Amino acid sequence: MRHALGILGVCAASVLLAVSAAMNWRFGYSLGMTEFDGLIYGAASAAADCLKALIPFFLFAAIRNRMWSQAAASMVVWVVVTAYSLTSALGHAALNRLDTAGQRAQQTAVYQDMRADVKRMEEQVSWIPQHRPAATVASEMNGLKNQIYWNRTQGCTVVNGKFNRDFCQQYHTLSAEHANALQAAELSKKIMLVKAELAKSGEAKTALTEADPQAAMLAKIGSLVIAGLKVDDVQMALTIFIALLLEVGSGFGMYVAFSQWRLHDALHNPKVASAAAVGRAAAAMPLDVEVQAPVATPVAARAAATPAIAAAVPATPAVQAIPAAPPAPAVITPPAATANDNTDRALPIQRMVAPESDVERFHKEKVDTEEGATITAVDLYDSYCQWCEEQDKEPLALPTFSRDFGELKGIKKAKIAGRVRYIGIAVRGATDLAEDKKPPVPITRAA
């Protein structure tokens, strides 16, 4: 499970890093006056973005090793490349969001204008009086032009007499009706064209009333908390949030993902690698080995260890009369020699086991089981750091120590009052002194 989470985290961080590097590339490329200059700036920008993701490894490693100058230099470089990457991300996000919002605003404005035109033309059609089709009215007008009154009135320009006025009145009425019919037909044609344009490519369904619906909705929700919140303010906040998402994700994503494999323990703590090697070697060794060890007499052993006794032994006849027992082979498994063991006994080859970790040693030397006792994780870690300082060791990080200590047998912990506590253990007040286990040396007195 840990490896699966680590792989997923690395993949997600790689995507964010690739997106951020691509944005930096475009931003740097736009700064060049020529194509070659653009390639130079773009490559430098992409490299700076990749360095931003690697610097956390260098920074925390330098802090871990107490190399403060390298840590300060790493921090300066990280601030510079992050600031540069943040500006490019802000510019790219703002440009794309404003461009998209502008296109939507233009489409919305065109859509609303066309809807307004359709509504206005429909109102004009409603104002036109009732009329017959234009072709029908034109046919009646042509019939009037064939009558004798049309010639007498010279096309209804000279009207004399009652019959001529009635004829021309009828003709003008038909002419007005024909004009209304023509106007209604023209408006209906325009309305059909505009509606067809609205329906083209589904714009009538996808057109939005807001240029930026997300910002508009967030502005309405935010106005319940912050009075006078505008859509422009929300758009700026969203642009900053997107830039921060890319920068933080691409800057620390790799470091967080690789923490699943505890790289610092493997790279900066040689004892972890050596313990693993010793464990593998111990697995290949036999459990018990029979060794032929010579048995020395007490006097000879003491004389060999102490030059003064060796010089005095030849001068004592009684001692010389004592015959030395010949060394007899014996199948034994003697205990390991201590630091104060000065005998001539040969050391056997024992089974090699992996050494205890620092956490296990700290638990054995400093932690006691005590019923009803509790200790916070922070206080226990402080005691561990103090023990490491006494032992001249480099302490593990708090998360790593908590994980290793929690895996020990019999350790129980719980969250009490918002703090993690270990149950049933307490830290000793002082380090116990090891007892001196020197073996007694037999001394043979002269007869």
The CATH number of whichever domain residue 385 belongs to comes to: 1.10.10.10
pLDDT score, position 189: 92
Is 150 found in the same domain as 83?
yes
Is 146 found in the same domain as 206?
yes
* pLDDT band at residue 388 under the 50/70/90 scheme: very high
Run of H or E residues at 54: helix 35-64
End position of a domain, from candidates 261, 282, 302: 261
- Where helices occur in 315-409 by DSSP H, the ranges are 317-321, 358-366, 377-390, 398-406
Is 256 found in the same domain as 297?
no
pLDDT score, position 98: 66
Evaluate whether residue 350 is within a structural domain: no
Is 371 found in the same domain as 302?
no
Task: Give 45's Cβ-side CA count (13 Å radius).
Answer: 28
Segment 181-213, tens digit of pLDDT: 999 999 999 999 988 888 875 544 455 556 677
Is 53 found in the same domain as 148?
yes
pLDDT score, position 262: 59
**Strand, coil or helix: 209:** coil
Is 112 found in the same domain as 214?
yes
| Burial (Cβ within 10 Å: 0-12, 13-18, ≥19) of residue 418 | exposed
Give the range of the structural domain holding residue 392, as residue numbers without chain letter: 358-427
State the total domains in the chain: 3
pLDDT score, position 55: 86
Evaluate whether residue 285 is within a structural domain: no
End position of a domain, from candidates 243, 261, 279: 261
Is 133 found in the same domain as 67?
yes
Is 127 found in the same domain as 54?
yes
Evaluate whether residue 270 is within a structural domain: no
Is 105 found in the same domain as 155?
yes
Is 59 found in the same domain as 174?
yes
**Across 227-237, average pLDDT:** 81
Segment 405-444, tens digit of pLDDT: 888 888 888 888 888 899 989 998 743 433 333 344 444 4
**Across 155-165, average pLDDT:** 86
Per the prediction, the chain carries an average pLDDT of: 74
pLDDT score, position 385: 93
Percent of all residues in the chain with a pLDDT value above 70, rounded to a whole number: 70
**Across 131-158, average pLDDT:** 89
Evaluate whether residue 344 is within a structural domain: no
Is 325 found in the same domain as 365?
no
Is 303 found in the same domain as 239?
no
End position of a domain, from candidates 216, 238, 261: 261
